[in-house]
Amino acid sequence: MTRKHKLPLAEKYPPSEPCSCEICTAYCSRPGWWTVDEASKAIEAGYGSRMMLEMSPDLAFGVLSPAFRGCERYFALQEFAKNGCNFLVNGLCELHGTGLSPLECLFCHHTRQGLGLKCHADIEKEWHTPKGQALVEKWIVMCGLMK
């Protein structure tokens, strides 16, 4: 019996070439998701206060992501979605080039239409684990949402 080697998500979904076309810049209005390890590094770098918690539709687990402007340190609320990602300032991402950009943001590109959903689903699976939820719980306490 052989075990299938599972590629790390960063290898399965490599960064795309930078692009400022209308399609690619439109992706930036909706915050992309970090992997669990990426979110942990972003928290360590002091960005925890600029994250929000997105809950799965069945409320079984949560995902930490860059916040919509107005949802920092809180739950993702649809009414703030129009405000865009709080890291997008004057059309540029503050995380670009820092090594802290979310995998989903780095991967999405106009040449990869349709593949973003697969990337998103794989990141979701990583968050729906004890490791992912432990980080969510740590962030919730850190932000004072629960004591």
What is the per-residue pLDDT for 19? 83
pLDDT band at residue 5 using 50, 70 and 90 as cut-offs? low
What is the per-residue pLDDT for 4? 62
Q: Are 104 and 63 in contact (CB under 8 A)?
A: no
pTM of the shown model: 0.91
The answer to the question of residue 88 being in a domain is yes
What the block records as the tokens of 101 is: 């950009």
Average pLDDT of 63-90? 95
What is the per-residue pLDDT for 42? 98
Average pLDDT of 14-38? 88
Domain count, the chain: 1
pLDDT at 75 over 80: yes
The answer to the question of residue 129 being in a domain is yes
Q: Report d(CA 5, CA 23) in Å as an integer.
A: 34
> 23-51 burial by CB neighbour count: b if 16+ within 10 A, else e?
ebeebbebbbbbbbbbbbebbeeebbebb
pLDDT at 139 over 70: yes
The answer to the question of residue 46 being in a domain is yes
Average pLDDT of 72-101? 93
The answer to the question of residue 114 being in a domain is yes
What is the per-residue pLDDT for 66? 97
Containing structural domain, residue 46: 15-143
The answer to the question of residue 59 being in a domain is yes
Those residues with Cβ within 8 angstroms of residue 37's Cβ, 6 or more apart along the chain or in another chain: none
The answer to the question of residue 1 being in a domain is no
The answer to the question of residue 47 being in a domain is yes
Quote the distance between the C-alpha of residue 95 and its chain's center: 12
